[in-house]
Amino acid sequence: MPDDTAPGPAGPPSPPRGTLDRVPAPALFVVSGLTLYLGAAVAVGLFDTLGAPTVSWWRIVLAAVVLLAWRRPWRRRWTRHDLLVAAAFGAALSAMNIVFYVGIDHLPLGVAVAIEFTGPIAVAAVTGRGWRERGAIVVAACGVVLLAGVTLDGDLPREDVVVGLVAVLAAAACWAGYIVLGKRVAGGGSGIDGLAVGMAAGALLFAPLYGGSVPDVVLDPALLGFLLVVAVCSSVVPYVLDQVVLRRIGTATFSVLLALLPATATVVGAVVLRQVPTWPEVVGLALVTGAIAMTATGRD
């Protein structure tokens, strides 16, 4: 996630330090993960009404509205380069969200999240120099093969499984791009302002595909309310808490905490969606989680 520790020349300040800074970082991270995947669980219930890609687009649109209203990034002095990087970052983020929602429409939430983590693990392996990063790819691959094999042999229709796996792997690739571009946004000092601009750009980019749903959603306050819950839970709250955590800890510790997310997604999937994992799936999840921790060891 982009770091918001370096404010721009004219942008609004970062949120003041207060109560959240007294909460342990792992606790904040767990809350972030729970809200993220609780929002995803709510979104699953809307797929029959709008379709997974459209629900994801509305998540992006409403999160962009909230972030723009809060941050007011137009007060910052933007260069053309900064705007282009933020737009590319938003495009990767939006594409990642859309294909991930297609994935969880076909696969259990915990399995989809674990497989999606091959994206950041691959980035760590490519950019790292030690044996841990290279070994993490092997460990993660074993976990993904196990998860995919169990899913293919399970009760889900094979066509759904294939579509789900392709979508989640595409989300993993988009996540890798999101990490690389996110570092450039953070390096430019725009932080959450860059996130707001990027999400607005992503919403506009995919509007020709999913904007036709606007009249139906706007005229249905209950549906709009559920979509707002998805946007706040899955985008606004996790991204803001990530900024609070990143301000206090190093990237290595943050990466280790990422290992909590597949387990968090599995718990939410089991409790909310009744997607109880089998023992082979638990082993696969453990392998992916271990690979995440391996890529974090030794980093700053």
**Count of alpha carbons within 13 Å of 144, Cβ hemisphere only?**
23
User: b/e per residue, 224-238, with b = 16+ CB within 10 A?
Assistant: eebbbbbbbbbbbbb
* pLDDT value, residue 176: 85
**Is pLDDT above 50 for 14?**
no
* 90-104, 199-213, 268-282: least confident range: 268-282
pLDDT, one tens digit per residue, over 74-83 is: 998 888 988 9
Q: Report yes or no on 20 lying in a domain.
A: no
Q: Report yes or no on 13 lying in a domain.
A: no
Q: Report yes or no on 14 lying in a domain.
A: no
Encoded amino acid at 61, one letter: V
289 vs 110: CA distance, rounded Å? 12
Q: Report yes or no on 69 lying in a domain.
A: yes
Mean pLDDT of 26-46: 86
Q: Report yes or no on 7 lying in a domain.
A: no
H-helix or E-strand spanning residue 289:
helix 279-296
* % of the chain with per-residue pLDDT over 90: 34
Q: Report yes or no on 277 lying in a domain.
A: yes
* pLDDT value, residue 166: 93
Q: Report yes or no on 10 lying in a domain.
A: no
pLDDT, one tens digit per residue, over 184-232 is: 776 666 678 888 999 999 999 999 999 999 999 999 999 999 999 999 9
- Full residue range of the structural domain in which residue 189 is found: 25-296
Number of domains in the chain: 1
Instruction: Sort residue 108 into left (φ over 0), alpha (ψ -120 to 50) or beta.
Output: beta
* pLDDT value, residue 153: 58
Q: Report yes or no on 5 lying in a domain.
A: no
* pLDDT value, residue 154: 62
275 vs 87: CA distance, rounded Å? 36
* pLDDT value, residue 241: 81
